[in-house]
Amino acid sequence: MTTIDDPLLAEADDLQDAGALGNVERGCPVVRVEYGVFFDGTGNNETNYLSGIDMRAKGQVTSGSYDNEASNIAKLFNEYKNEEDAARERNQDGSPCVVYDSFYVDGIGTTAGRGDSNIGFATGLGRTGVNQRVARTIEHISMRLAQISAEIDEVILDVFGFSRGAAAARHFVNLLHDIRNLDVGARRPGSFYSPLFTHEKLRIRFVGLFDCVVSTGTVADDDNYAGSAIGLTDDIAEKVVNIFAGDEFRLNFSANSILARPNRLTGGVEGTREEYIGPGAHSDLGGGYSAHFPEAPIIALEAGRGPTLASPQDMIQHLETAGELSPADIERKQRLVEKGWCLPGEIDNCYIKQPISDDWGYHIILDRSAFHDHRLARVYLHVMHQLALDNDAGLRSALPSGPLYDVPGDLGFLKNKVLNRQPLTRSETVLVRRMYTHHSAHFAISDTLIGTALELRPMIPQNGTIRTIYPNDPNN
């Protein structure tokens, strides 16, 4: 298993792993190669997650990818079969010679062992952006195949991605699908670019995506793909699945469906492509939220309302006496309760002096004291694992047990509900939203400073809490 970011690092990994591939080939004149490719989401990095644990144990302050937990992409990567699994399968049932290999691609905007890239994180562009990561991944696969001395009968790919990593996965499989027209890298014997390695030998078996979001450029550029080929044809892979976040409704965080006619309530099936909808915000599905992630979202922010008064208490009394709570504010508070985000007593009215004026701003803040923990993503780890196994992907048959993998007992019902596209009951909705779901769409105090510049406001909610979903277009 290899982790790639920089071409020089990739070459070092190749030298380290060459012996393992040779061991699998021994006694096998003809082999089948099965690759797992794992594109992590923006801001996620397994190496930096592990480093962050050590840093915090030493009392150091962490941020960015060093502050996150391992994502579901990283966890699935660690459960892809390897050379030991291949040897065991041959000994048990005489299976044909199989080479298993997998590699993990650092999340967009991150680099293992280095500081995060603000440009890559914000825009999905540059050295840590989508297109560069995909190009390096293809180069890496070429070098790995070139190390196999046996005849390659077939190469089978299982590809996974989260967030912009899901966009990278779509771009990746499109490039491989059109491999004969590619002009990338050296033509090494046995590589994807060699005329000896024909397209007919390449199978894209399974593509598993968590909440695909492309959005390159500013946060308002949701429909800007910056040269990435994300449209999926019916023959792109034997099976493509995407799990959408049903409780993600940031204005500048539109989703990219794999269906031409997406259904935001139930998902659907079109040919070889299947889409599922799961309760939760973006990283509640793909993982990466740290256990100490702060959660106190500002649901409404209205600056400068009411006269300039001496204290928040005076402001509260003025608004209550004058009855100046707007109908929109009242509706927001009622909707939070009706939608299961909180109980009536779990919403705070907050009156804060604006940083650049003497006015008092009126905020509605969702009290998350009932928020249980950050383990909702464990459900979707098991959902994707099941979908992958159902389509013969090269993952081990069982996920490990332990704190990073186990589903909370009161969420035991959710996996089958998602897989069967069954709606949640009222009590189930309240449980999942109130205790496990991040309210990722919110305002911030800084929004009072930057006015209506949407490209600078990545977290503000979509009007009416309806997320924009772009349908699949095979021509994109």
- The residue behind tokens 């598993």 is 208
> Containing H/E element for 231?
none
What is the mean pLDDT, run by run of 10 residues, along the chain of 476 residues?
42 37 67 95 86 84 82 97 85 74 90 70 66 88 85 92 94 81 46 56 94 68 60 94 93 89 95 97 92 68 51 57 63 85 76 50 70 89 99 97 95 98 96 91 57 55 78 90
pLDDT at 355 (0 to 100): 46
| DSSP secondary structure letter of residue 141 | H
Q: Do 415 and 382 form a contact (C-beta atoms < 8 A)?
A: yes
Question: What is the C-alpha separation between 83 and 439, in angstroms, rounded?
Answer: 42
| DSSP secondary structure letter of residue 238 | S
Question: What is the C-alpha separation between 452 and 131, in angstroms, rounded?
Answer: 31
- The residue behind tokens 């909705």 is 429
Question: What is the C-alpha separation between 261 and 162, in angstroms, rounded?
Answer: 21
Phi, psi dihedral angles at 464 (to 5 degrees): 80, 5
Question: What is the C-alpha separation between 262 and 257, in angstroms, rounded?
Answer: 6
| DSSP secondary structure letter of residue 211 | S
Q: Do 134 and 35 form a contact (C-beta atoms < 8 A)?
A: no
Q: Which residues of 316-325 are buried (b: 16+ CB within 10 A; e: fewer)?
A: bebbeeeeee
Output the CA–CA distances (angstroms, integers) from residue 358 to 73, 284, 310, 363, 449, in the order listed: 47, 39, 9, 16, 14
pLDDT at 202 (0 to 100): 86
- The residue behind tokens 């890496």 is 140
| DSSP secondary structure letter of residue 346 | G
pLDDT at 66 (0 to 100): 79
DSSP letter string, 91-112: HHH-PPPEEEEEEEEPPTT--T
Q: Extract the runs of DSSP E, i.e. beta strands, from 288-420.
A: 298-302, 347-353, 360-366
pLDDT at 464 (0 to 100): 62
What dihedral do alpha carbons 317, 320, 321, 327 form, nearest 10°?
Answer: 150
Q: Do 157 and 202 form a contact (C-beta atoms < 8 A)?
A: yes
**What's the distance, Cα to Cα, between the start and end of the chain in Å?**
32
pLDDT at 12 (0 to 100): 36
pLDDT at 215 (0 to 100): 64
Question: What is the C-alpha separation between 405 and 399, in angstroms, rounded?
Answer: 7
Q: CB-based contacts of 243: which residues, under 8 Å, 6+ apart?
A: 209, 210, 211, 275, 276, 277, 278, 285, 380, 383, 384, 418
Q: What is the Rg, in whole angstroms, of the alpha carbon atoms belonging to the chain? A: 24
- The residue behind tokens 């199989």 is 98
Question: What is the C-alpha separation between 214 and 249, in angstroms, rounded?
Answer: 15
pLDDT at 238 (0 to 100): 97
Output the CA–CA distances (angstroms, integers) from residue 197 to 31, 154, 258, 360, in the order listed: 14, 9, 29, 68
Kindly tell me the burial class for residue 185, based on how many C-beta atoms sit within 10 Å of its own C-beta (0-12, 13-18, 19 or more): middle
**What's the angle, vertex CA 215, arms to CA 211 and CA 218, rounded to 5?**
140
Which tokens hold the place of 354? 């604006």
